[in-house]
Amino acid sequence: MRVVRTTKELREALEYMRMGGHTPIGFVPTMGYLHEGHASLIRRAGEMSSTVVMSIFVNPLQFGPNEDFASYPRDERRDLELAEREGADIVFIPSVEEMYPQPVLTKVSVGALTTQLCGASRPGHFDGVTTVVSKLFHLVQPDYAFFGLKDAQQVAVLRRMVSDLSMNVEIVACPIVREGDGLALSSRNVYLSGEERTQALVLSRSLRETRQAIEAGKVTTADEARQLLASVISTSPLAVIDYVEILTFPGLEALEGGSLISNAEGEIIMALAVKFGRTRLIDNNVFTPKEVHALV
Ligand code: PAF
């Protein structure tokens, strides 16, 4: 595995792999502090590509002024061990100065897909994500790029960016990886106290119970689904709801309150953002109501 820190070294390492015929190239962009979710992305990339490139870069552009950019967890040595174990070939770890040697005047923005859910709570966040991911795509020129569905809105936004800008890369969305007790893996889980972590299990439980209620025909409208999600979450005294939403996926259009879930075309997403102490967690479930309806 080669570790490169400058864009010049990255281009050289990629050129070497391309000259050797080690294509297609799979790319896993990350902000480090890797966990089993990232490991699953590297493995998927390895199945689909001959060269696996991973980037580790805590991108200041996607953090708001009062967010955790400075304190975001970092552990390069552990990250490199995991990357090597899982089969990455090239790891790109640029400094902020290397990525942004001058103030960034050019921004990539995906309009209406970034104004709801996390886009509403974290203004500017998705512009930071799409700007850095476009820059990384230009540097790596991957055939495939791998992202976890825990950040489902990010997947929807990046797919749209790739389509709108005719970028020659396929976005591969990979399933959410959970702890045995249901907590979705996130680098930010490290911030949770023992009690907060226990109470955070309510997120996956609310999604599971609401999905089961929909499948059993006990919950039929979007309003009922939102209410059930919120009422299960509210059984945790530490939980402070940021949003509980049910939308089309990947279009991210809100389902009208009284509309029947079973009438929705294509996939829908139940998406949550909830704070436990100072830690904001997200979780979601994407499914096709027509298939569920056929089961009922
Ligand atoms: O999902 C992440 O870790 C980040 O948003 C990404 C895609 C690496 C961009 O900084």
Point out the ligand 1 atom lying closest to the alpha carbon of residue 187: 3
Distance CA 12, CA 25 (A): 14
Beta bridge partners of 28: 54
Q: Whose CA is closest to atom 3 on ligand 1?
A: 30
- DSSP percent split of the chain into helix, strand, coil, nearest 5: 45, 20, 35
Q: Are strands 25-30 and 144-148 parallel, antiparallel or unpaired?
A: parallel
Distance CA 41, CA 52 (A): 10
Question: Same topology for domains 2-174 and 187-287, yes or no?
Answer: no
For position 295, what pLDDT does the model report?
56
Distance CA 33, CA 73 (A): 6
Is residue 59 in contact with ligand 1, taking CB distance under 6 Å? yes
Q: Whose CA is closest to atom 5 on ligand 1?
A: 129
**The tokens 């001058």 sit on which residue?**
102
Ligand 1 probe mutation, 59, 93, 122, most atoms within 8 A of CB: 59
Beta bridge partners of 260: 221
Q: Whose CA is closest to atom 8 on ligand 1?
A: 30
CB-count burial class (<10 Å; 0-12, 13-18, 19+) for 232: buried
CATH topology of domain 2-174: Rossmann fold (3.40.50)
For position 138, what pLDDT does the model report?
98
For position 257, what pLDDT does the model report?
86
Q: The domain 187-287: what is its CATH number? A: 3.30.1300.10
- Tens of pLDDT, residue by residue, the chain (296 residues): 999 999 999 999 999 999 999 999 999 999 999 999 999 999 999 999 999 999 999 999 999 999 999 999 999 999 999 999 999 999 999 999 999 999 999 999 999 999 999 999 999 999 999 999 999 999 999 999 999 999 999 999 999 999 999 999 999 999 999 999 999 999 999 999 999 999 999 999 999 999 999 999 999 999 999 999 999 999 999 999 999 999 999 999 999 888 899 889 899 999 999 999 999 999 999 999 877 766 55
For position 296, what pLDDT does the model report?
53
Q: Which of 159, 162, 143 is nearest to 151 (CA)?
A: 159
For position 289, what pLDDT does the model report?
87
- Residue 81 CB partners (closer than 8 Å, separation 6+): none
Is residue 132 in contact with ligand 1, taking CB distance under 6 Å? yes
pTM recorded for the entire structure: 0.96
Is residue 29 in contact with ligand 1, taking CB distance under 6 Å? yes
Is residue 129 in contact with ligand 1, taking CB distance under 6 Å? yes
Delimit the domains of the chain by residue range: 2-174, 187-287
SS3 of 260, please? strand
Q: Which of 225, 149, 234 is nearest to 199 (CA)?
A: 234
Q: Is 125 a catalytic residue?
A: no
Residues 129/136, Cβ–Cβ less than 8 Å: no
Point out the ligand 1 atom lying closest to the alpha carbon of residue 30: 8
